[in-house]
Amino acid sequence: MKLKEPWTTIEKKGFNDWKIRQFVTWGGVADGGSMVFEFLTEKGIKFDVMVANPAYWTDADKEAKHQVIYLIESGRFYLLAPASKQEKHLLRILTDATDTQKGKGRVDPKYVRALIDKIKDRKPPEYYWPMTKEEVDEANKKAEQDAARQPATPFESKIEPR
């Protein structure tokens, strides 16, 4: 995995003209804490924006507590530099997408807005981000209620053996 693909590679694929057709989903990555947001362009190109966990950070990023963000396309990682023309373009197309996207759950545009805010401020997120603490507390409460209604083990089940 090359973590600093030159931007010219993706610019040749029309990055500067991309528009988002669909916010597909967001979720955690099995790498220790990164969050990835998946999008589809109007031309059918799939790309992700990764809010990287500290394992991807340089020592300077760690010292400054500076959130590292990558754009990922076709397995190539493009480091998104703060205030770069690429960051400005990405922020523009993400902002446009929040005006056109509709959805609930993992495709709610509020998560795209949370991503926009994270790109702008570059502060490391709280453990519950991009959800709010209240959303996480509510989900945990619901999970506890659901678990309380379920048998703890198969032996407590009402199913009789044959």
Number of domains in the chain: 1
Residue 138 lies in a domain: no
Evaluate whether 37 touches 48 at the Cβ level (below 8 Å).
Answer: yes
Residue 24 lies in a domain: yes
Residue 103 lies in a domain: yes
The owner of tokens 């528009």 is 19
Residue 86 lies in a domain: yes
Residue 51 lies in a domain: yes
Distance separating alpha carbons of residues 32 and 11, to the nearest angstrom: 30
Residue 1 lies in a domain: no
Residue 80 lies in a domain: yes
Residue 16 lies in a domain: yes
Provide the pLDDT confidence category of residue 1 given band limits of 50, 70 and 90.
low
How far is residue 149 from each of residues 136, 144, 146, measured CA to CA in Å?
20, 9, 5
What does the pLDDT look like over 14-42, one tens digit per residue? 999 999 999 999 999 988 899 999 999 99
How far is residue 100 from each of residues 19, 48, 95, measured CA to CA in Å?
11, 18, 9
Boundaries of domain holding 12: 7-131
pTM for the full model?
Answer: 0.85
Q: With a cut of 80, say whether residue 59 has pLDDT above it.
A: yes
Distance separating alpha carbons of residues 37 and 24, to the nearest angstrom: 8
* DSSP three-state, residue 49: strand
What does the pLDDT look like over 111-156, one tens digit per residue? 999 999 999 999 999 988 999 999 999 989 998 998 888 766 665 5
